[in-house]
Amino acid sequence: MCVAIAGGALRGASAFGAGSIACHTRNRAAPRVFFFHGMEVFWTPRAKDNKSLVKLLREEGAVKSDRVACVMEKLDRALFIAEGERNLAYMDCPMQIGFNATISAPHMHGSCLELLNKHLQPGMHALDVGSGTGYLTAAFALLVGDQGRAVGVEHIPELVEQSIKNVKRSPAASLLEPGVLSLHVGDGRLGWPEHAPYNAIHVGAAAPQVPQPLIDQLKPGGRMVIPVGEGAQELVVIDKGPDGSLKQWTASSVRYVPLTSKDEQLRGGV
């Protein structure tokens, strides 16, 4: 049972989180989804609804804690997907959301929430760079509660506008008006200094190197999760010590869209 919230990649599935990957289903009694990256084929279960999706993510090890499971159950992924594609919402794969952007696969959302869980406690501040649909920013807001702050930054104005609409349909809607949850148009590589420092920073696109403004805005004792790399990519975890020192380690290999300027993103493809 889900109680109050505020207060690894799948086995047998891809660690490639947000790249351009085609999803397909097989016609069988217990359907599973497969998707391709290059010549590799990865299999993952298909869920019938959001609660079933979270259950599968727990069974496969992407979601481990009750707290993360609870917030993912509360935030129905379909609310953050275009209406005509909501039948695909419970597949564990990334989906296009327009403007050469994607929403990450559910197992990547779960993995990143687990990595940041201890840094998303009530009253803490969280930054979501490349907030896209607003899903993860909304999850952060529910976790930090009404005494905390969750900030999403996205450089495509149309995506920010749509993400606000998405959040207004969700259980996080009540956190918009008091400013606990806010979504902004901006270059996420520069962070969002107004509400810094942040206990938790999540970056939803792969950077060639970690942007210095994000390091500067990470609070001592805080944690950043960011995909890094231009070819092979790694999900890098950066912990800032009380003295400002940095410890960096790799959680997994991933595949994300690149963290670029607005113009480069609109010119490019994923």
Strand duo 233-240 + 181-185: pairing = unpaired
Give the integer Cα–Cα distance in Å for 12 and 107: 12
CB 60 within 8 A of CB 11: yes
Helix 50-60 to helix 66-74 angle (10° resolution) is 160
Cβ–Cβ < 8 Å for 77, 50: yes
Residues serving a catalytic function are: 104
| Sheet hosting strand 23-25, strand order edge to edge | 23-25, 32-37, 40-45
State whether residue 63 is helix, strand or coil.
Answer: coil
Which amino acid belongs to residue 126? A
d(CA 104, CA 102): 6
| DSSP state at residue 177 | T
Count CA atoms within 13 Å of residue 182 on its CB side.
Answer: 14
